[in-house]
Structure 1
Amino acid sequence: MRNHGLIMPLPPDDVAASLRLAIDFLPQGIGVFDAGLRLVVSNQRYNSLLALPNDLTRAGSALFDIALFLAERGDLGKGDAARLAIERINFITAAPTTVTLRIANSGQSLEFHSTRLADGGLAIAISDVTDRVRAEKELEQVNLTLEGRVAERTAALTRVNAELEVARAKADAANHDKTRFLAAASHDLLQPLNAARLYTSTLIERAKTTAFAELANSIEASLTAVEDIMSALLDISRIDSGALKPAPTIVAARDLLRKMEVEFAPLARERQVSLRIVATDAAIVADRTLVGRIVQNLVSNAIKYTPSGGKVLVGVRRRGNRIRLDVIDTGIGFNRDQHKLLFAEFSRLDRGARMAQGLGLGLSIVQRLVTALGLTLELDSREGTGSRFSLYLPAARNMRSQVPVVPPAPEPGFGNFDLKILCVDNEEAILEAMRGLLEHWGCDVRTALSLKRIDKERLLEGWYPDLVLMDYHLDQTSGLDAIEWLRHNLGGHLPAALVTADRSPAVRSLAEERGIAVINKPVKPAALRATISGLANQRGLG
């Protein structure tokens, strides 16, 4: 939106509305309650499955009032409604996780999954399992009358199997529909968040010595939390639906570890944790993007849950025909009884929850990726001493000498660039935010909404860009094709980076084939500076 000629970021309400839309798309009913057992948020499926009146679906509604309404309606059986409501609440809050099944007044079979959250709150998921229960009852009835009815048994089992196959096909179709929806929605959901992150980054740099510095950093932390939630939900959806297809290639382990150093060195310094990356010349066979995601989560956790003054070590060791990648820390650690709890969704150890914010999804994603890639993850830890997570990867045989030696890029500093940069994006707000940040870094910036606008406004007459930052989803073409068009018309090799919310391996692979760097939205200033430095070095401008 515009206000007195200024481009303003979309308000947080728009991001929240987009997130609410995504939650409402889920086939399960979802309700989240705070530590006082008052409703924080519920989706439309939750409200419809319980057939709640509007006054009990508003934020702040007490769980007791909802349970009392259900008891008075007869959902919880015969007896005193208040007593039944209290007994129900006590049951679902007594254990970390409970699973119950009951028949609604409408005749539906509803399965309730209740999970206590780290902050004392409660998450409830409701699934309509009517078809499954009906199929189970029909199968049970068939089994009771099997003797002397071989023909009937065969027909009944055939019918039940057909029903189960139809149900499975419908479930698979729904899962694929959900994945397609989230993939399409992710771009629109991340666009306003990307603009907000860019504006906030500029604000943080300009407000360093002012009274607004703390406020700017608080906004940045909130946006980071939203981004983490979005990324985790999208990752889980892709993995569970089978949309992630591993594409193993030969990867230099040092490149993977160097990326971890560039990404996490600032966080380690901020938390006063020593991060050491051990040099190696080993090569592995792995999907670079998916294995990188696993290591990112492990290193991030190690730093977050290591107190100030502690150490984090990342390195590799050869073990037969495999490479063992270790992430070792001197953090809070955990005992053997807590191993399963670590990998459960929305599960966090009490001490860890006090040290750092999070949803408890990081290690759940790690476990899913390890399973999808057919790898092995080993862990060893002592409570109060530290932890070691070890990922076993196939070693590349006799390929060590073929892996090119890439000199490590210098860690991005905080000085100014003296570069001409062309930015292309179909969102005006993102272009304005990117211009503000890059001009603050000393760049000469020109922006365009499309290739046609570049030509129409004659942006390149007498002005040759040192590099290009190009959005992937343009209105009339893809960013990859747009970069090729610019290279063809400007001549020579034009350093370029693709800026995209699409995190699929296919897009990254296409970009790498054309020598184009990739920056994921929402754009992080440190990653942007590192990419610009690397592109500038390609042309000897750094």
Structure 2
Amino acid sequence: MINPDDPLNLQVQKQAKIIEALVRRANRQHEIGSTAYSAFQSAIALQGQIWAKTRDLERTTNELESVRYDRERTRKSLTDALASMEGGFALFTDGKLEVCNDLFRTLLPDLSRQLAPGLEIELYFDALRNSRYLVSTDGRMSTSLTEAQRGPVGAMVLSFVIELTEDRWFQINMQRTSSDNIVILQTEITGIVRQNRSEKENLIDKQALYLQAVFENMSAGICTFSQDGEVMMHNTRFRELLGLPYTLLQKGTGLQQVLDFISVNALVLDSAALNVNLWRERLAHQGRLRRRIRHAGGRVLDLHAHVLPDQGFLVELKDVTLESRATEMLEKRVDERTLELTQANKRLTAQYEAQARVEEELRLAKERAEAAVSSKTRFLAAASHDLLQPINAAKLLISTLKETTKDNPVSGTVDRLQGSFTSIEELLHALLDISRLDSTDTALTPSDVCLGTLMQGVVEDQAPLAARKKVQLDVVPVSALVRSDQRYLMRSIQNLVVNAIQYTPEGGRVLLGCRRRGDKIVLEVWDTGIGISPKDQKRIFDEFTRADNVPIGSGMGLGLSIVDRTCRHLGHKVSVRSKRGVGSIFSIEMDLVKGQPQEPTTYLAPAGANEADMDLIVLVVENDEDVLFATTQKLELWGASVLPAASTEEALGLIRDIGMPPDIILADYQLDNGDTGVNAIRQVRSETKTKVPAIMITADRSPDLVRTGAQMGFTVLTKPVQLSRLRPLIDWKTRPQNRSGAGMKAVYAGE
């Protein structure tokens, strides 16, 4: 029934009302009660309640008195504190004046009557602006009030300065202390303002003295003129530099008078500088005037005139005599040095022109040398076909002759003849290889090469040589891919194996194998030959170089040079380890390629069947009569039926005559009148509507021909053809399982 949050006096009133109601109820019950005992009992209970309420009322009254006393004491303390403050203080609650001290009331006497509790803060600021005692403000009064009303609680103090009559100054500070309260403090700063003003005036006076002292002691001459061209002030240095009398440079003297005096007394040699109209025009249009003048006394002066903010102008004179003399000396030295440099430049130009002529001659010589090398390479490439054609024909004829004269007394002569042509063939191949590797446009074609296939092919090719020398030739099988040029890598391996066999005595051994070293693989050729001394190991890779212990007539010394050139072009590392009288180990280090070798194998084992059982129809397309005759003789000796043709047209005529496709085509690449073996193979297949197996026998070693063979499905053999490779290749390509074309991928069979 009684809210403990109500004020104490309101709680006492409510309790009194409750007690009065209880008394009335007790009296009413007493009148209505039926017996005296019940009335007495009710009175006793009511008496106890009245005593309890009375005690509560007394306690509440005491607390109320204590609160009233504390409140009065707090208000008195606040009043005393406000009265003791040095500045004015006011508290505005909900935008209305709550309390302020006397200093706040008396700051502006014409506002004292309005400063009563409840005055709105906006009305107070309006009255402040309109007070007759207010002289000026710093312009932040309105913005400070707005920021104080809208700013957050506890924000920074906002202040502005006001000036009152009688040169009094006050700083007004405002701060929002809570969501409803704004406190305003008035602090008098008259003493501080007057002190600052006095210090500023003293400082200005001192600065004037300082400026005057500096002005007089400047090394440059200074003179200022008014807008009308009259002297305002000058320093002594200005008068001394021009040699003017003291009486002339007085305040009010005109510029024209000064210039006339200088002209009459010939103080300045440059008469153009004394034209007053020039001064006015330059200063009016450019705002400055700069001249270098020479004084009659020998001094050199720099004259600078600048327009001042009040439209007057300032003239500055600097003595630059020493600087001018130094400049003249420097210019003289520069002229002398320029002359020297010009002469030196002429000499250098002559030397440069001579050097340019020498360089041009060297360039032309280099171009002629490169052209000669390229011409040589092109000549060898073009001549290789003509060079290899008769050798190829001779090899075929010698092979045929050797087979037909086995039991004839001339068989020995035939063997020697075959050996001579073999030497010629090897020397020609070596020269062609060196020419290609040294050519400026050498284009090796690295690809993924099956190393085991190359090794096996080289061993099979050189097995007859090893058998003749009674040297054991072995190969350790390997299944690895390397990144290299198939033709030149095969030639390098072949040269190492041939050298090993050649320099290993009867009963010795040659071993070809590989070792893995991380992501590298090292191909090694071991032999038990004569060995190489340490001094010879450093030079055996040079052309036409052989070791000291090599027998005379053992070769021209080109094989290892070809190996070295090939490995340098391909990025392989070639090395040798050898001990004289024990043997040698030649090695080639190459990068391994991940993957498995691709089939089919590019080298085939020699046929074991009878050489005269080749029951095939062979179309031979060859424009060289000797090669065509020798090839025909050899194929017929093997048992084949040969259709010899010198051109594609002749080959097509033979096919039409027999009315059936041949079993295999052997074609030369370069035919007459622009005809090629590729065209012959394509035309025969088109005529017979059959993909006839084909082998291209050519001296052309270009990668483009190999790629063409891969596209058309024919094999490339280089001239002079090795019969030990030709016969098994024909047998393999004409097998029933291969004639359908399933296994007839292009094969480059090398040399």
Counterpart of 2:637 (choices 440, 453, 461) is: 440
Paired position in structure 2 for 1:419: 616
Give yes or no for contact 2:525–2:586 (8 Å, CA) kept in 1: yes
Equivalent position SS for 2:429: helix
For residues 525 and 404 of structure 1, what CA distance do their matches in structure 2 show? 23
Counterpart of 1:157 (choices 340, 355, 368) is: 355
Give yes or no for contact 1:446–1:459 (8 Å, CA) kept in 2: no
* Aligned-residue offset at 1:458: 4.8
Within the alignment, does 1:330 sit opposite 2:528 as a pair?
yes
**406 and 471 in structure 1: CA distance in 2 versus 1, 3 angstrom threshold:** closer
Q: Show CA shifts across 1:407-432 (max 9, x none).
A: 97332336132222111100122111
For residues 149 and 238 of structure 1, what CA distance do their matches in structure 2 show? 46
* Aligned-residue offset at 1:159: 2.6
Counterpart of 1:466 (choices 655, 660, 663) is: 663
Paired position in structure 2 for 1:239: 437
User: For residue 438 of structure 1, what is the amino acid of its counterpart?
Assistant: L
Equivalent position SS for 1:358: coil
**368 and 463 in structure 1: CA distance in 2 versus 1, 3 angstrom threshold:** same
For residues 291 and 259 of structure 1, what CA distance do their matches in structure 2 show? 12
**412 and 261 in structure 1: CA distance in 2 versus 1, 3 angstrom threshold:** farther
Q: How does 1:194-205 map to 2 (within 5 A)?
A: 194-205=392-403
**516 and 242 in structure 1: CA distance in 2 versus 1, 3 angstrom threshold:** farther
For residues 335 and 512 of structure 1, what CA distance do their matches in structure 2 show? 46
Q: Show CA shifts across 1:153-183 (max 9, x none).
A: 3333333222211211111111111111111
Q: What is the TM-score when the length of structure 1 is the normalising length?
A: 0.68
* Aligned-residue offset at 1:469: 0.7
Within the alignment, does 1:285 sit opposite 2:483 as a pair?
yes
Within the alignment, does 1:360 sit opposite 2:565 as a pair?
no
- Superposed CA RMSD: 2.3
Paired position in structure 2 for 1:450: 647
For residues 461 and 733 of structure 2, what CA distance do their matches in structure 1 show? 17
User: For residue 573 of structure 2, what is the amino acid of its counterpart?
Assistant: T
**414 and 344 in structure 1: CA distance in 2 versus 1, 3 angstrom threshold:** farther
Equivalent position SS for 2:539: helix
Q: How does 1:40-79 map to 2 (within 5 A)?
A: none
Q: Show CA shifts across 1:232-251 (max 9, x none).
A: 22211111113431111111
* Aligned-residue offset at 1:350: 4.5
* Aligned-residue offset at 1:405: 6.4
For residues 442 and 361 of structure 1, what CA distance do their matches in structure 2 show? 39
For residues 279 and 538 of structure 1, what CA distance do their matches in structure 2 show? 29
User: For residue 364 of structure 1, what is the amino acid of its counterpart?
Assistant: S
For residues 180 and 367 of structure 1, what CA distance do their matches in structure 2 show? 23
Give yes or no for contact 1:289–1:505 (8 Å, CA) kept in 2: no
Q: Show CA shifts across 1:447-493 (max 9, x none).
A: 11111112334565234321111011111422122212222222333
For residues 369 and 363 of structure 1, what CA distance do their matches in structure 2 show? 10
Equivalent position SS for 1:176: helix
**472 and 461 in structure 1: CA distance in 2 versus 1, 3 angstrom threshold:** same
* Aligned-residue offset at 1:151: 3.5
Identity %: 39
For residues 504 and 518 of structure 1, what CA distance do their matches in structure 2 show? 11
Q: Show CA shifts across 1:248-272 (max 9, x none).
A: 1111112111211221112111211
Q: Show CA shifts across 1:344-367 (max 9, x none).
A: 22222354334x632111111111
Paired position in structure 2 for 1:46: none
Equivalent position SS for 1:342: coil
For residues 509 and 652 of structure 2, what CA distance do their matches in structure 1 show? 53
For residues 359 and 564 of structure 2, what CA distance do their matches in structure 1 show? 32
Moved over 6 A (4+): 145-148
User: For residue 415 of structure 1, what is the amino acid of its counterpart?
Assistant: N
Q: Provide structure 1 residue ranges, at least 5 long, that are not aligned to the other structure.
A: 1-144
Equivalent position SS for 2:364: helix
Within the alignment, does 1:371 sit opposite 2:568 as a pair?
yes
Give yes or no for contact 1:468–1:495 (8 Å, CA) kept in 2: yes
For residues 711 and 531 of structure 2, what CA distance do their matches in structure 1 show? 42
Paired position in structure 1 for 2:589: 392
Number of aligned residue pairs: give it: 394
**239 and 406 in structure 1: CA distance in 2 versus 1, 3 angstrom threshold:** closer
User: For residue 393 of structure 1, what is the amino acid of its counterpart?
Assistant: M
For residues 403 and 308 of structure 1, what CA distance do their matches in structure 2 show? 37
Which has the larger Rg?
A: 2
Q: Show CA shifts across 1:287-323 (max 9, x none).
A: 1111111111111111111111111111122212211
Counterpart of 1:383 (choices 569, 577, 580) is: 580
Within the alignment, does 1:500 sit opposite 2:698 as a pair?
yes
For residues 155 and 455 of structure 1, what CA distance do their matches in structure 2 show? 66
Paired position in structure 1 for 2:261: none
For residues 600 and 701 of structure 2, what CA distance do their matches in structure 1 show? 26
Give yes or no for contact 1:378–1:391 (8 Å, CA) kept in 2: yes
Q: Show CA shifts across 1:68-116 (max 9, x none).
A: xxxxxxxxxxxxxxxxxxxxxxxxxxxxxxxxxxxxxxxxxxxxxxxxx
* Aligned-residue offset at 1:282: 1.1
Within the alignment, does 1:491 sit opposite 2:689 as a pair?
yes
**194 and 337 in structure 1: CA distance in 2 versus 1, 3 angstrom threshold:** same
For residues 303 and 513 of structure 1, what CA distance do their matches in structure 2 show? 38
Q: Provide structure 2 residue ranges, at least 5 long, that are not aligned to the other structure.
A: 1-342, 740-751
Paired position in structure 1 for 2:170: none
Equivalent position SS for 1:391: strand
Give yes or no for contact 1:193–1:223 (8 Å, CA) kept in 2: yes
For residues 185 and 439 of structure 1, what CA distance do their matches in structure 2 show? 29
Greater relative CO (CA pairs within 8 A, separation 6+) = 1
Judge which range, 337-346 or 207-216, deviates more: 337-346
Judge which range, 183-192 or 339-348, deviates more: 339-348
Give yes or no for contact 2:617–2:640 (8 Å, CA) kept in 1: yes
